[in-house]
Amino acid sequence: MLARSSKLHKGLLKKSLPFTIFLVGMITTAVVISNQIKNQQELVRQHTNTAAKQTRIRLEEFMESHLSCLDVMAKRWVQHPNFSRDRFLQFAELYYENYSGFQAINWVNPEGIICWVYPEEPNRRAIGMDIHEHPNLKCRAAFINVEKTQSFGLTPCMDLFQGEKGFAADWPLIHNGKLQGYLNGVFRIRSLIDICLAKGVFDDFCLNIYEADQLIYQRKGENDDAKCKKWFAVETIRFRDKKWRLELKPKAKLYSAVTLASNLPLFLFGLVASISVGFLIFCLIRRGDQYRFTFEKSMLAEESLIESEKRYRTMIENANDMIWTLDTQGNLTFFNQQAEVVSGHNMKEWKGKSFVPLIYPDDLEIVNDVFEKTLTGKSQHYMVRIVTKDGPILTLSVNTAPIFEKGEVIGTVSFGRDITARIQAEKELEKSFNKMKKITEDVVKAMAVVVEMKDPYTAGHQRRVAMLACAIAKEMGLSEKQIKGIHIAALLHDIGKILTPHEILNKPGKLTEKEMEDIQKHPQIGSNILSSIEFDWPIADIVLQHHERINKSGYPQNLSASDIMLDAKIVAVADVVEAMCSARPYRPAYSIQIALDEISKNSGILYDPEVANICITIFTEKHFSFN
């Protein structure tokens, strides 16, 4: 009764093991995805903090460089007693043209009146202004402080005449102890920051800059404050006696990538892997039961042989490979029982005889070369075929080493293993790989047929596009591997239409704007379908780009010529030619000549000129035909 209960318990464990493996796999996948999301969130935070620090450093260095240039102008100004307007305008023009971001460079007389400005337009209204009567009280106070201390000073941020935010810097000009006036530089904050910062900052982040509580610069973008609040980065920008507060927030495209949906491929991989491993365990259990039954049956037959094998057990357990020794003349001095079993020859018959008759004739030169090298004291590894006593040819993997006695080589010892079955298995594996490759090609063709069944007007379209695309690629001298990828991409380039409504695909009249938008989604849909399949080529990218045009008029990404793959350019031209030569619900088929005229007319405009020229050539000179 207990034995029966134990057997039943083991049976239940076996049945539940595959499901347990599946659960463990899914739990592991959930943990991995959770850690992945946390790592992605941490990367966004680090990216935001790093970008904020880099932005602060760039702005501090940029502001300091502009102020330093006016420091130099002020010093050079007082080094010469010529304080004429022409000399001022020469200096001002030099610095204004070479350092972007200035609103104006002004000369202020000792009484605080702006006398000279550069450029005069649009700053003419500032001429004659008394800075003591500036509408901004803080600016007045800053200038008065410069007058009192006779030292450099910066004004707070203020509204300029043109409506922008800006600030001014004042330098007293003193020559031989006498005040000659003031150098006044007015800076546009937005221009300075836009020039200073890299485009990547504006692409990925929203940027706000404050002086005290006043917002002096803002670069807006789509942003969800609730989601990105925890990734908010703040830095303090310091230059001279100014202090600005910088706030940087990631845009929606950064934090939207840190979601469960973005990790869907990983989840699908975990699901498939868990199911596969569970099924594999189930199959192994079934196979194990079969083997156990066979093993138990064979054990009964082997028990009668145990007594006769006791004398040889030690040798068999410690020497599963063939072992033999040769003297320096190449004569056999010993080989073990395993060697006898594999070769079929008897040790007594071959002791003292040359090994040459045992070697397959075509391999004799290799064996002699290895034997000579081993006698020089070097170990060797090689593969050799031997002739067994019963006739079959076996392949051995052999390691040979010299035998030393008193420092001299007196022979060789070799260890050989029969790898005939392994080589045969490798050949079978290669055969299976080629078969799997053929199955993959058949699946691709089947997917193409599914699309054509959706739209009967384009039956054979993808196959003919593939024919023409491969002909163009071959004429361009592309590799066989790349041509194969183009062939698969062309066969599947319209797979995204499987989700396009049937009534749109077969509409006889002109499509509405909404229907055209639906049609133009099929490259993206096709790319999404194919992106989860591990091809040896970028099939998903080619399908995504096959409606792009080199003048950025294509869809869905409006790519330029340099961003479109050559493979996609080839498929695009082949697609246009074949589509024009085939009938559609809304028009009859055009002739090949009209299609080629379209390609020629728009070569270098819509289509890659090299691809277009080769397409025309294979029709006109190579006599290509869709038939």
Half-sphere CA count of 462, side-chain side, radius 13 A: 27
Alpha-carbon distances of 73 from 66, 153, 155, rounded to whole Å = 11, 15, 19
Return the higher-pLDDT residue of 317 and 94. 94
For range 305-310, the mean pLDDT: 55
Q: Which residues contact 544 (CB under 8 A, 6 or more apart)?
A: 523, 524, 526, 527, 556, 557, 568
**Which pLDDT score is estimated for 222?**
52
Asked if the model's pLDDT at residue 244 lies above 50, the reply is: yes
Look at residue 549 in the predicted model and tell me its pLDDT.
93
How many CB atoms lie under 10 A from the CB of residue 482? 15
Q: Specify the range with the lowest mean pLDDT, choosing from 80-94, 359-373, 419-433, 609-623.
A: 419-433
**Among the listed residues 109, 102, 155, the one whose alpha carbon sits nearest the alpha carbon of residue 128:** 109
Q: Which residue has the higher pLDDT, 242 or 453?
A: 242
pLDDT of 470 = 95
Where does the pLDDT of residue 261 fall: very low under 50, low under 70, confident under 90, or very high at 90 and above? Answer: low
Question: Which CATH number is 16-279 given?
Answer: 3.30.450.350
CA distances for 427 relative to 400, 419, 438, 547, angstroms? 27, 12, 17, 43
Q: What is the DSSP string of 198-232?
A: -HHHHHHEEEEEEETTEEEEEE-----HHHHGGG-
Crossing angle (nearest 10°) for helices 609-620 and 461-475: 100
pLDDT, position 486: 94
Compare 245 and 295 and report the one with higher pLDDT: 245
Please determine, for residue 14, whether its predicted confidence score (pLDDT) is greater than 70: no
Q: Please identify which residue in the block is written with the tokens 């077969």.
A: 506
Percentage of the chain beyond pLDDT 70 is 83
Taken in order 565, 570, 574, 580, is the CA torsion positive or negative?
A: positive
pLDDT at 395 over 60: yes
Which residue would you say has higher pLDDT here, 471 or 625? Answer: 471
- Residue of 574, 602, 596 lying closest to 493 (CA atoms): 574
Q: Higher confidence at residue 293 or residue 354?
A: 354
* 473 vs 292 pLDDT, higher one: 473
Query: Any idea which of 91-105, 297-311, 320-334 has the lowest mean pLDDT?
Result: 297-311
- More confident of the two residues 479 and 187: 479
In the predicted structure, residue 457 carries a pLDDT above the cut 60: no
Q: Report residue 456's pLDDT band, with 50, 70 and 90 as the boundaries.
A: low
Which pairing describes strands 233-239 and 214-219: parallel, antiparallel, or unpaired? Answer: unpaired
Asked if residue 266 has pLDDT above 70, the reply is no
From 391, 390, 393, 373, select the one nearest 381 (Cα to Cα): 373
452/458 Cα distance (integer angstroms): 6
Q: Where do you find CATH 3.30.450.350 in the chain?
A: 16-279
Q: Alpha helix locations (H) across 476-562?
A: 480-491, 502-505, 513-519, 522-530, 539-545
3-state secondary structure 131-177: HHHCCCHHHHHHHHHHHHHCCCEECCCEECCCCCEEEEEEEEEEECC
**For residues 389 and 364, is the Cβ–Cβ distance under 8 A?**
no
Is the predicted pLDDT of residue 447 greater than 70, yes or no? no
Average confidence (pLDDT) over 207-224:
78
Mean pLDDT, range 203-232, rounded to an integer: 72
Q: Nearest Cα to 173, choosing from 240, 98, 88? A: 88
Q: Is the dihedral of CA 198, 201, 202, 207 positive or negative?
A: negative
- 15-58 pLDDT per residue, tens: 677 777 777 777 887 777 777 777 777 787 888 888 888 888 88
Diameter over CA atoms, the chain:
125
Best mean pLDDT range from 83-87, 250-254, 502-506? 83-87
Q: Provide mean pLDDT across the span 391-402.
A: 81
- Quote the pLDDT of residue 547: 92
How confident is the model at residue 312, as a pLDDT? Answer: 46
Residue 348 has pLDDT above 90, yes or no: no
Q: Helix, strand, or coil here: 453?
A: helix
CA dist 373 and 401 (Å) reads: 10
Q: What is the mean pLDDT of residues 128-133?
A: 86
By CB atoms closer than 10 A (0-12, 13-18, 19+), residue 230 is: exposed
Instruction: Tell me the CB-side half-sphere exposure of residue 313, using CA atoms within 13 A.
Output: 7
- Residue 564: per-residue pLDDT: 94
CA 50 – CA 250 distance, rounded (Å)? 12
* pLDDT, tens only, 141-184: 888 888 888 888 888 888 876 678 888 888 898 888 888 888 88
Residue 123, pLDDT > 60, answer yes
The backbone torsions φ and ψ at residue 114, rounded to the nearest 5 degrees and listed phi first, read -75, 115
DSSP H/E element including 40: helix 2-77
Residue 471 amino acid letter: A
CA 602-452-556 angle, 5° bins: 45
- 322 CB-contact burial (10 Å; exposed 0-12 / middle 13-18 / buried 19+): buried
Q: Cα dist. 365→26, 186, 377 in Å?
A: 58, 91, 19
Q: Looking at the domain that runs over 427-620, which CATH code has it been given?
A: 1.10.3210.10
pLDDT of residue 554: 92
How many Å apart are CA 283 and CA 585, to the nearest integer? 52
Cβ(547)–Cβ(523) below 8 Å:
yes
Flag whether pLDDT at 563 surpasses 90: yes
In this prediction, residue 392 has a pLDDT band, given cuts at 50, 70 and 90, of confident
Q: Residue 615 above 90 pLDDT?
A: yes
Residue 475: the pLDDT is 93
Cα–Cα–Cα angle for 491, 495, 501, nearest 5°? 145
Contact 14, 285 (CB under 8 A): yes
Task: Read off the pLDDT of residues 458-517 as tens digits, 9 standing for 90 and up.
Answer: 557 888 999 999 999 999 999 999 999 999 999 888 888 888 787 777 777 788 888 888
Distance CA(517)–CA(512), nearest Å, equals 9
Return d(Cα 574, Cα 612) in angstroms, integer: 9
Residue type, 613: N
Q: Does the predicted TM-score (pTM) go above 0.85?
A: no
Percentage of the residues of the chain whose pLDDT score is greater than 90: 15
Domain span(s) for CATH 1.10.3210.10 in the chain: 427-620
Which ranges in the chain are annotated with CATH 3.30.450.20? 319-418
Question: Which three-class secondary structure state does DSSP give residue 399?
Answer: strand
CATH of 319-418, one of 1.10.3720.10, 2.70.70.10, 3.30.70.120, 3.30.450.20: 3.30.450.20
DSSP secondary structure string for all residues of 64-119 = HHHHHHHHHHHHHHTTSS---HHHHHHHHHHHHHHSTTEEEEEEE-TTSBEEEEES
**Average pLDDT of the chain to the nearest whole number:** 80
Tokens of 226: 């609730």
Rg, the chain, Cα only: 42
**Segment among 10-14, 355-359, 515-519 with least mean pLDDT:** 10-14
- Is the confidence at residue 276, as pLDDT, over 80? no
Highest mean pLDDT among 332-336, 505-509, 524-528: 524-528
Containing H/E element for 614?
Answer: helix 609-620
